[in-house]
Amino acid sequence: MNIGIFFNDLYKIKDNEDFMEQFINHSKSGNRHKMIEMVMQQQQVAGLKICSVFIGKNNEKARNLFNDINLIKKDTARETIAHKINQLTRGLFAVERENLLAIEIILSRARHQFGVGLHEKCCRDCDYAIELLNSVQMSRENELDNYKTLFSALKHQALKLIYKNMNKFDYNDNPTVSVKVDGKRSKKLLSCSDTVSLFHDSVRGRHLIATRNIKAGNVVIIDKPFAFSTDKQALCTNCLHCHVSFSLEEQTKIPCSNCQTVAFCSEECRKEAWSSYHKYECMIFDIFLENLDSNQQCSHLLLAYRTTVIKAINKESNTLDTEFIKYHREEIDNNNNFNKTIISRYDPLDYNTVYLLETHCKKSEPRVNLARAIKAVYLAKCMQYVFEQTRVKNIEEEEIKILAVAIMRHMQVINCNAYEIVENIRDQRTKIWEPRNIGGAIYTTVSLVNHSCYPNVVRHSYPDGKVVVRALRFIAKGSEILDCYGPHFISDELLSRQKLLSDKYNFICTCEACKNDWKLSTSDTIFRCLCGSKIDVKQSRCTRVSCSRKIDIKKLTDQLIKSTKKRVNAINIMYDGNYVQALPLLLEHSAFVDKNLIEPNIEAAKTQQSIIQCFNSMSNISKLSSTQF
């Protein structure tokens, strides 16, 4: 039974008054164990049978796709070659990796890629084929050396042409460099610079404070995901493991060894994914392709499942992890045995940091908790089936309940703590990098950062799932590090911001933009005195009585005009695709604006958006093409 039928049938119980009266009490008390128990007692659960739901290998289909290449018209048009390459890729995903046909398909695909100038993709295919030839047992082994020679020769030819064209630069050749935090790495917050520190109070909860002045552009956090997932629409366009885009010229598609659905950029990614999570989801993967709720990102169920798998299984003993069992058997209260504020070493890969994330279980609408409990029980049953198939020890009924409790908790955590994995695509007409969501992830360090409708940091997704958080403007020592969860005062009205944040995150925003109901004026520029107060232009003095500093308004205005020219010049440079060269000009202008203009102001908004564009170009990128290979 698929999850949609199971859910729709069981969710009807919401109309049972006796059931719901009891369930609501458990929901309002935050008792996940009792909520899961009530769902598991229903007859639909007792009759639930899970089986494999995935598209497995099909050598006959692969052979037909390979042979049909000869039926495609023979010309050198890129559209025709792209069609052939895509058909070969479908064949490669269908064939078993031990079959010699896999090598024949890779060779044909590599040759076609070479023919249309995709030399880096060709090299990747040659490397993949040689690794495959060295790692699997195939029939007709006397032919294998001949294939290795062919691939080595083809790669040599491709490399010669790559080196010949190395002087050609394209902004779509991602100028990503190794990113590191500014300053020393924090000894307590392993993902943070020592420019920030963790604090806690009754109003803001856990939050990060600047320990010294932070300049715009400085990297304050580089966080690794505890778990991540890929959106349905990105499964064929991005690597399942590192999320790199296959549209980039140096990337090629490599199949899973078991299914035809997911793709990888390398054998390394395939192996890492298989050992850590894909082994435990592959045989039921089509479950996660169903659309149950149009308001829920399609990757969130998979993210909750993976978060559970990563901690639940002891990979060495192939048994359920004892610490995981302890966490969810006892459902330790966040404010009791495990003190949120006393963590000597905050490691994003430590499950404790996931467990301590806010769930808002008690505040959630009971019917929402019922829906999550039903889905959690279904996924726990799936996990039981997969564990049996992968020879993890038999799962008892009590352990199924514990798995369901954990999955439900993770679903609640994800609802208010998960972040999008984003790639950026440059619009050829507007020359603007537009974000596209390709997945979701749990970043436990970034989750420590509170919201503001006028944030002082910005997030960017990077290869390997990392997220980089930079200062978007000057952050003074003692100020809170503030991210934007979605609504921004420039684009959203106060009431709509407040409603969205209250509905999804269960808080009323009291940021400066909300308290003062900021409106962005396109004309008024108010100068700031060194003391931080407004300057009266007519009086040429600071408005603060205790300061009353005399100000040279003409000099300040001339400096603003001169500095603004830097931003305009930077935009022209960005238009040509030279973002690395434009960024220093923007950061210089940002420093002037932060020092000399009162917020909010249009100049700061324009500058910050331009800075974001520069960082977009240096993060996860993709590109659109009329011909997709």
pTM, rounded to two decimals: 0.93
DSSP string, 345-394: SB-TTSHHHHHTS---TTTS-HHHHHHHHHHHHHHHHHHHHHHHHTTPPP
Closest to 525 (Cα-Cα) out of 626, 574, 449, 596: 596
Tokens in use for 239? 């690597």
- How far is 332 from 446, CA to CA, in rounded Å? 23
Task: Write down the number of H helices and E strands in the chain.
Answer: 20, 17
Distances (CA, A) of 194 to 214, 223, 224: 11, 14, 17
Is the per-residue pLDDT at 177 higher than 70? no
Is the per-residue pLDDT at 169 higher than 50? no
Do the bridges between strand 419-426 and strand 621-622 make them parallel or antiparallel, or are there none, so unpaired? parallel
What pLDDT digit, counting tens, does each position of 493-546 carry? 999 999 999 999 999 999 999 999 999 877 778 999 999 999 999 999 999 999
- How far is 601 from 595, CA to CA, in rounded Å? 12
Q: What is the mean pLDDT of residues 249-253?
A: 92
Report the SS3 class of residue 421: strand
Ramachandran area for residue 359 (φ above 0: left; ψ -120 to 50: alpha; else beta): alpha
The lowest-confidence range among 50-64, 324-338, 399-413 is 324-338
Q: What is the percent of the chain with per-residue pLDDT over 70, rounded to a whole number?
A: 94
Domains of the chain (ranges, CATH numbers): 3-53+226-420 (no CATH), 59-95+99-164 (1.25.40), 205-224+448-508 (2.170.270.10), 535-622 (no CATH)
- How far is 406 from 401, CA to CA, in rounded Å? 9
Q: For residues 623 and 32, which has the higher predicted lDDT (pLDDT)? A: 32
What pLDDT digit, counting tens, does each position of 304-313 carry? 999 999 999 9
Paired strand residues for 228: 441
Q: What is the mean pLDDT of residues 28-57?
A: 96
Do the bridges between strand 205-210 and strand 196-201 make them parallel or antiparallel, or are there none, so unpaired? antiparallel
Per-residue confidence band for 338, with pLDDT thresholds at 50, 70 and 90: very low
pLDDT value at position 73?
75
What pLDDT digit, counting tens, does each position of 148-167 carry? 999 999 999 999 999 988 76
Residue carrying the six token digits 């020359």: 431
Q: What is the percent of the chain with per-residue pLDDT over 90, rounded to a whole number?
A: 82
Longest dimension (CA), the chain: 92
Contact between 421 and 224 (Cβ < 8 Å): no
Paired strand residues for 621: 424
What pLDDT digit, counting tens, does each position of 256-277 carry? 999 999 999 999 999 999 999 9
HSE-CB of 227 using CA atoms within 13 angstroms: 29
- How far is 221 from 235, CA to CA, in rounded Å? 28
Q: State whether the Cα torsion 579-455-417-35 is positive or negative.
A: negative
**304 membership: H or E segment, kind and range:** helix 300-312
What pLDDT digit, counting tens, does each position of 551-595 carry? 999 999 999 999 999 999 999 999 999 999 999 999 999 999 999
Per-residue confidence band for 41, with pLDDT thresholds at 50, 70 and 90: very high
Per-residue confidence band for 139, with pLDDT thresholds at 50, 70 and 90: low
Per-residue confidence band for 335, with pLDDT thresholds at 50, 70 and 90: very low
Contact between 229 and 257 (Cβ < 8 Å): no
Closest to 62 (Cα-Cα) out of 251, 222, 238, 260: 260
Report the SS3 class of residue 168: coil
Do the bridges between strand 450-451 and strand 482-483 make them parallel or antiparallel, or are there none, so unpaired? parallel
**422 membership: H or E segment, kind and range:** strand 419-426
Name residues whose C-beta falls within 8 Å of residue 599's C-beta, 6 or more positions apart in sequence: 454, 512
What pLDDT digit, counting tens, does each position of 415-461 carry? 999 999 999 999 988 899 999 999 999 999 999 999 999 999 999 99
HSE-CB of 512 using CA atoms within 13 angstroms: 9
- How far is 144 from 100, CA to CA, in rounded Å? 9
Cβ burial of 60 (10 Å; 0-12, 13-18, 19+) is exposed
- How far is 266 from 189, CA to CA, in rounded Å? 31
Is the per-residue pLDDT at 389 higher than 80? yes
Ramachandran area for residue 77 (φ above 0: left; ψ -120 to 50: alpha; else beta): beta
Q: What is the mean pLDDT of residues 64-91?
A: 90
Is the per-residue pLDDT at 294 higher than 60? no
What pLDDT digit, counting tens, does each position of 194-222 carry? 999 999 999 999 999 999 999 999 999 99
Tokens in use for 357? 């994330």
Q: What is the mean pLDDT of residues 86-94?
A: 97
pLDDT value at position 627?
57
* CA dihedral of 298, 299, 302, 304, whole degrees rounded to 10: -110
pLDDT value at position 298?
57
Q: What is the mean pLDDT of residues 95-105?
A: 95
Per-residue confidence band for 172, with pLDDT thresholds at 50, 70 and 90: very low
φ, ψ at 199 (rounded to 5°): -130, 170
Is the per-residue pLDDT at 340 higher than 70? no
| Summary mean pLDDT of the chain | 92
pLDDT value at position 332?
56
pLDDT value at position 74?
78
Name residues whose C-beta falls within 8 Å of residue 372's C-beta, 6 or more positions apart in sequence: 364, 408, 411, 412
pLDDT value at position 231?
94
Is the per-residue pLDDT at 337 higher than 70? no
Alpha helix (H) residue ranges in 450-547? 494-505, 512-515
Contact between 226 and 310 (Cβ < 8 Å): yes
Contact between 587 and 518 (Cβ < 8 Å): no
Contact between 143 and 165 (Cβ < 8 Å): no
pLDDT value at position 198?
96
